[in-house]
Amino acid sequence: MICISFGPGECAGGISGARCPRRRERPGVREAPVPSIEVIPSHPACVDEPATSHAISTSSLANASALLVSCELAPTVVTVPPAHRRPPAVIDLELLASREGVTRQASPRWMAALDDNFRWLTDSSVDLVLTDPPFNIAQDTNFHTYEGNTINSYRFDADKGWDTYTSDSFIALLGDWAKEFARVLRPGGSFAVFCADAYVSHLIDALNTAGLHPRRTLTWRKPNAVPVNRRSMMMSACEYVVVGVKGSKATFNSDLLMSDLSALIDVEAVVVADKAAAVVERAVRRALETVSATGDARPEMVRLAVETAVLSAAPEAAKRARAMYVGEGSESYLRACVPNHVAFNSKAGNRLHPTEKPVTLLRYLVALMSRPGDLVLDPFGGSGSTGEAALSLARRVVTVETDPEFYGRLTERLKSIDIANSSSAIPSAEVRVDELLGAH
């Protein structure tokens, strides 16, 4: 069925402005007031009604097309699988990037904007907000005094100041960001926002005030954390990610079919390793409790105890891992109990951005909280790590960066990732080519 809309819930079947009999307004979703084309096998909001043909006269279609052209929105021919059940995707990134006023680059899969906001992005158009905003923790330090130093300071925003605010102004910014996340997320859309420990409670308050529902705070443990001030305090070896949903019924891929390796592998690597590691850790702790040697003999005895414990725990760890897989044949799937902690090494070596996150961590979050074809937004794009993660998993991505230097690195990175993943098709979806262009 083809439905050409000229306003909220209106159909151009007769160019009369009459409401389409098979379309209802969805609560909480602002429809774009500009013309759009929808190619929909059956309206998602009308699943209780039988699919019937909806005739459009040749003259009506011509008039509608003329109006679309006048709005610089040419009709788009789209093939939609009949069984596709995703909410209307608002995807024409190249069209969005063509608008004047902001420096943008785009392909059908991604769009990058050099901007300090995303008010131009339409309400309820995003499936997942995954972002690493400023933490407000940059400061001058004496890191150069600690043993084996490879860090000169903690002033990682240098003279640009993108991570330096007063506490009050930063807390106010968290509120502003949360309101915009709530605006662009679709009902059921998810968010995952990185945050420093000092501001986690403030971020949760801001998200709640904006009408979003924070559900968990994920602890990201960094095994390769720099041992700064190790003699006087615990290492700073964790970061935090506040995750949640707009409304309810969020995408959460904890049951994963064995037949779809691309959707399985990133989540599997985390949850299976976590299950096995718990068994091994318990065995090692118990073994160390039995080591009584002291002095020079103790290190070797500890080594032997750890080696023995790991080897003895291996069969039980493997058994626990195997028990996570259920079903038979093509219906076999991984039944994951996803913890609210995860371990990934932080980005080391040649960073494109001072606070660059590992793509493996971002892929895990994208795989867990979205589906192929979904639109991911990163309003603090940095060097494009979130964009790389999204593209590599057949999601589309809009990423925004305010610093021209990082924006240049980001766009070059996304171009190269896009080419490398060009054979991985973005799934078909219901398309409304106009709705990424908000009225803001």
The 10s digit of each residue's pLDDT in 68-79 is 333 333 333 333
- Cβ atoms of residues 252 and 368 within 8 Å: yes
Cα torsion for 229, 361, 89, 425, to the nearest 10°?
150
Distance CA 221, CA 346 (A): 9
Report the percentage of the chain scoring pLDDT > 90.
42
CATH class given for the domain over 103-252+338-420:
alpha beta
Could you tell me the residue ranges of all domains in the chain?
1-85, 103-252+338-420, 261-332
What's the pLDDT tens digit per position in 233-264? 888 788 899 999 999 889 999 998 888 888 88
- Look up the pTM and report it: 0.71
The greatest distance separating any two alpha carbons of the chain, rounded to the nearest whole angstrom, comes to 93
Give the phi and the psi of residue 334 in degrees, each rounded to 5. Answer: -90, 120
Distance CA 198, CA 290 (A): 39
Q: Give pLDDT, residue 61.
A: 36
Partners of 154 in the beta sheet? Answer: 139
Rounded to 5°, angle at Cα 158 from 155 and 160? 130
Q: Which of 191, 241, 195 is nearest to 218 (CA)?
A: 241
Q: How confident is the model at residue 97 (pLDDT cuts 50, 70, 90)?
A: low
Distance CA 400, CA 385 (A): 12
What's the pLDDT tens digit per position in 309-327? 999 999 999 999 999 999 8
Q: Give pLDDT, residue 405.
A: 87
Residue 29: Cβ-neighbour burial (10 angstroms; 0-12, 13-18, 19+): middle
Q: Give pLDDT, residue 50.
A: 36
Kindly report the length of the chain: 440
CA distances in angstroms from 203 to 192, 213, 418, listed in the order given: 11, 12, 33
- Cβ atoms of residues 124 and 185 within 8 Å: yes
Helix (H, G, I), strand (E, B) or coil at 215: strand
Residue 197: Cβ-neighbour burial (10 angstroms; 0-12, 13-18, 19+): middle
Q: Which of 30-39, 42-51, 222-231, 343-352 has maximum average pLDDT?
A: 222-231
Q: What is the mean pLDDT of residues 408-416?
A: 89
What's the pLDDT tens digit per position in 30-60? 333 333 333 333 333 333 333 333 333 333 3
Q: Give pLDDT, residue 321.
A: 94
Distance CA 414, CA 235 (A): 34
Q: Give pLDDT, residue 263.
A: 81
Within 10 A of 47 (CB to CB), how many other CB atoms are there?
9
Mean pLDDT of all residues in the chain?
74
Q: Give pLDDT, residue 288.
A: 97
Comparing 106 with 208, which gets the higher pLDDT? 208
